[in-house]
Amino acid sequence: LTSTMDLLPTFAKLAGGQVPADRVIDGRDITALFAGADGSRVENRPYYFYARTRLAAVRLGKWKLHLPRPVDKTWEKYSKSEDAMAVEAPMLYDLEADIGESIDVASEYPEVVADLMKYIEKARSDIGDFDRIGKNARFFDPEPRRPDILAKQ
């Protein structure tokens, strides 16, 4: 899995430069993928999904874990009803078998949920969540730190 986060380190390498050493850079150099080099694989790493300031999900390999969340009234009118629904407990999806994320398999794979929750806690500590600012966050969002409270009003 690659993302736009990988562009800075990739373009820096292609231009003969380096990424800043004074901060955490989340992206990885993926020039080997462009070159089609033998054995070029991007490491399997977690990909975090945020909805504004709320950490909403994490994907690692074939697994995607959605975290509990309130109904987001802000986007409810623009979304399908199931996309704006509240999530009461973590929901796990096997994206190889269910790309549409329609079958929650959290109860069948509690060990996967537990492993992914470790990544969630690491992300919360590192880059933050709606109720905390992570140690490497560049938090500048002027919105309230608790958008879930506004959604309930």
Each residue's pLDDT tens digit, 91-111 = 999 999 999 999 999 999 999
What percent of the chain is predicted at pLDDT more than 70? 75
**In this structure, are residues 58 and 123 in contact, taking their beta carbons and an 8 Å threshold?**
yes
How confident is the model at residue 59, as a pLDDT?
95
Most confident of 51-55, 104-108, 144-148: 104-108
Q: What are 60's two structure tokens?
A: 């690692």
When pLDDT is averaged across residues 71-92 and rounded to a whole number, the result is 70
Mean pLDDT of the chain: 81
As a whole-number percent, the residues of the chain with pLDDT over 90 amount to 35
In this prediction, residue 40 carries a pLDDT of: 53
Instruction: Please tell me the predicted confidence (pLDDT) of residue 122.
Output: 93
3 state SS of 116: helix
**First vs last Cα of the chain: how many Å apart?**
38
Q: How far apart are alpha carbons 40 and 4 in whole angstroms?
A: 18
Query: Is the pLDDT at 83 greater than 70, yes or no?
Result: no
pLDDT given for residue 78 in this prediction = 59
**Per-domain residue ranges for the chain?**
4-35, 47-137+145-152
CATH second-level architecture of 47-137+145-152?
2-Layer Sandwich (3.30)
Torsion angle (degrees, nearest 10) of CA 10, 136, 55, 28 = 10
* Total-model pTM: 0.69
Radius of gyration, CA atoms only, the chain: 18
